[in-house]
Structure 1
Amino acid sequence: MKLGKKFIAIALAGMMVVGTAAMSLADGSKVVTLGVDLSAEQKQTMLDYFGVKKDEVMLIDVSNAEERQYLEGVASEAQLGRRTISCAYVEPTSSGGINVKTANLTWVTGSMIASTLTTAGLTDANVIAAAPYAVSGTGALTGVIKAFEDASGESLDETKKELANEELVTTGDLGDEIGQDKATGIVNDVKNEVIKNGTSDTVQIADIINNVTNNYNITLTPEQIEALTSLMQKIGQQNYDYNSIKDTLKNVQYNVSENLAAAGESVDTVGIFEKIKHWFSGLFGSDTGILSQTDESALGSDAVISATQQDIENAANEALTQVNDAYNKAKDAGVFDKIKAWFENLISGL
């Protein structure tokens, strides 16, 4: 893969210049929310993991009562629990979409959080959602949203925040049946089409759900279709700016596709050129900021870490491999000879 190595070297050199400029565009304060039921020692562990000191960030406690404000009536009592453990670290940015890193969250994933945050009305931010030990992460969204509002000084629409929490639970419940990645991909892709097309029509939504689930080789139950349709109808009635959230929705689609491929699934909703576009946009248009400053050792060797940012070199090599394969297939099929002959005929006729 000599071509790939040279390509990456050139791209990384450019990234050093562009990345520096991108970092200067980050705005807003950095805010950390801590689960109120954590011990003082556990809170310090989370600060160590985030790589910050108390006097460097705004610290806010989040309680179970605050989680219940948006989740009660949507999540089950078992999902709600009685204690708040999840923590969040949020850095508003001016571009790059929503990038998420999670640690020790078992029921929700980084891609799931990124997608639901677009429903809440976020557009650009770096987000870390984590806990000192394994938890479901059901209430993680509450801390993230609260941190974002305090960091940016922007109050998000209450209806959209409620819908984001409903989407998180809907996706998580679906994930229990078909797997987290497929559930995230289906909900994210259906939402992408609903917002892109500006529809809240149940017939159109049903068609979108059918098309998307076919892409993932999944058949939903009538109850699952009803829950997803109801959610999407409500999302479709809101006023979303598709252009401001499409990058995040596409990134989630890409990450889900990569995860499924790594697990040996044949599902692939992202084409070759879309992957190349995604890689370039991630390389030059995203400042990962706080996501690259975490101290993984603070949580111990058993911590489960995930992130929406894919490894640059692996993504580049994969895209280059697919382009080379496509080139070779076209060459073997005589496509280039046909193009050459077409141009020769065109020129001879002038």
Structure 2
Amino acid sequence: MKKFKKIIPLALAVTLTCASLPMIANADSSKVVTIGTNLSDDQKKSMYEYFGTSKDSVETIEVTNQDERKYMEGIASEAQIGHKTYSCSYVEPTTSGGIQVKVANLTFVTSSMIASTLTTSGVENCNVVAASPIEVSGTGALTGIMMAYETASGEKLDEGQKEAATEELVTTGELADDIGQDKATDLMNDVKENVIANDISDEDKIADTVDEKAKDLDVNLTDEQKDKIVSLMEKISQYDYDVKSLQQTLNNLEGKSEGFFTKLVNNIKGFFGGNNSNSGGIISQTKDDILGSDVVSNSTLDDIKDKVQNADTEGWWDKVVNFFKGLTGSDSDSSDSNSSDDSSSN
């Protein structure tokens, strides 16, 4: 009976807590699709189908190679830029939850790379799907995403920040070729967060931060790699960022509990409300089979789940249990359970 009594206040606490939280997806926001101009008509049609929408339902922007060159020339190689544009994106501004990204058929960049570089561009909250009907590097995808975000949100991003974001994406991708995608992303995120949170702009102090974070990750950088990172962080340090918003996205990418449990609570809200369609927004609407059985895909939402479930410090179920204990503020569970056990044994 005592166990049953404890369920009632717990359910009420969950309901009240969830009711007070904002939904991650913003139902009133615009959604914008960008289409690579060099795709065939059939390929363009398949991308709308993959995104789970239609040309009549969303605003569309065609992105050209010239659009990509505006930010990538002088940063990326000619081979990376290419002469044709195939990358597409689907962007949904949100009111909270940080930046969540899914990519498909992009071989040079990952969902985590795009999410992190979007924080550099000045974006704080949005859901993004970046994809192509054929495998491409994806270096130009960021250009289309930023164009779509500006159109969908009505917010003009700073040109300098957009250039810095593009440089960060290319630098991270090149670094990933040598040390791996995860370590490259973690290194750039750790350095960026430290530089912004501690307002570091001095070149020598940034260099010290790079050395420290590289040592923490057991990464050996060449002088050229270190100089590129330092130069990039000097540019980023010139701009004002909402530190809490940036940290939320970076925490999500690292699989830290704050980001994961925000989503857990929103899922609970969907359970009580009978509608969980807003979990992941447009990311949850994608149809992978449209791009074929061998599509290469990854998302920040999957990364969060994997990292939390594989955490060494605390089991996934323990995290869930402790989270709900925190909701009730109860420290008396053990004594209650002992008394229950005693009574049941009589």
TM-score by length of 1: 0.79
Amino acid at match of 2:188: V
Tell me how far apart the structure 2 counterparts of residues 316 and 231 of structure 1 sit (CA, whole Å): 30
Q: Provide the C-alpha distance between the structure 1 equivalents of 2:286 and 2:39, rounded to a whole number of angstroms.
A: 19
Structure 1 residue 249 displacement after superposition: 1.6
Deviation at 1:26, TM superposition (A): 4.1
Is 1:133 the equivalent of 2:134? Answer: yes
Give, in angstroms, the shift of residue 227 of structure 1. Answer: 0.5
CA contact (8 A) 2:36 2:64 kept: yes
1:291 aligned to 283, 293, 305, which one? 283
The equivalent position to 2:261 in structure 1, one of 257, 276, 280, is 280
- Find the aligned partners of 2:109 and 2:306 in 1 and give their Cα distance: 25
Deviations 1:74-120 (CA, angstroms, capped at 9, x unpaired): 00111110000000000000000000000000000000000000000
1:304 aligns with 2:296: yes
SS at match of 2:295: coil
Contact 2:26-2:93 within 8 A present in 1 as well: no
Q: Which runs of 5+ in 1 are unaligned?
A: 1-5, 255-274, 326-350
Kindly provide the amino acid, as one letter, of the partner of residue 43 in structure 2. Answer: Q
Query: Is 1:117 aligned to 2:118, yes or no?
Result: yes
Does structure 1 conserve the Cα–Cα contact (< 8 Å) formed by 2:98 and 2:124?
yes
Equivalent position amino acid for 1:209 in 2 = V
State the partner residue of 2:210: 209
What is the letter of the counterpart of residue 113 of structure 2? M
**TM-superposed deviation, 1:181:** 1.3
- Structure 2: which 5+ runs fail to align? 1-6, 267-277, 320-346
Give the Å deviation of 1:284. 2.9
Deviation per CA, 1:117-161: give whole Å up to 9, x if none: 000000000000000011100100001000000000111000000
Task: Supply the distance in 1 between the matched residues of 2:69 and 2:304 (Cα, whole angstroms).
Answer: 39
| Pair 1:51–1:191, CA change in 2 (3 A) | same
Alpha-carbon shift at residue 242 of structure 1 (Å)? 1.1
1:72 corresponds to 2:73: yes
1:188–1:252 Cα contact (<8 Å) kept = no
Match of 2:246 in 1: 245
- Contact 1:27 / 1:92 at 8 angstroms: preserved in 2? no
What does the per-residue CA deviation read over 1:253-277, in whole Å, with 9 as the maximum and x for residues that have no partner?
33xxxxxxxxxxxxxxxxxxxx333
Partner SS state of residue 315, structure 2: helix
Are the structure 2 counterparts of residues 313 and 203 from structure 1 closer, same or farther at C-alpha, using a change threshold of 3 Å? closer
Q: Which residue identity is paired with 2:84?
A: R
Shift of 1:279: 2.3
Partner of 2:82: 81
Deviation per CA, 1:181-210, whole angstroms, max 9, x where unpaired?
111111111001000011111121112111
The structure-2 alpha-carbon separation of the partners of 1:315 and 1:233, relative to structure 1 and needing over 3 Å to count, comes to closer
In 1, the alpha carbon distance for the partners of 2:21 and 2:289 equals 27
Cα RMSD of the aligned pairs, angstroms, is 2.7
Distance 1:314 1:15 in 2: 29
CA distance in 2, matches of 1:201, 1:151: 36
Amino-acid identity (%) = 51
CA distance in 2 between counterparts of 1:317 and 1:119 reads: 28
Query: Relative to structure 2, which stretch is displaced further, 210-219 or 139-148?
Result: 210-219
Alignment of 1:321 with 2:304, yes or no, is no
CA distance in 2, matches of 1:195, 1:229: 13
- 2:39 — aligned with what? 38
Deviation for aligned residue 1:17: 5.6
2:341 alignment counterpart: none
The whole-number CA distance in structure 1 between the counterparts of 2:317 and 2:43 is 48
CA distance in 1, matches of 2:217, 2:16: 34
Structure 2 distance, partners of 1:315, 1:182, is: 14
- In the comparison of the two structures, how many residue pairs are matched? 297
Greater shift, 238-247 or 79-88, is seen at: 238-247
Match of 1:214, SS state, is helix
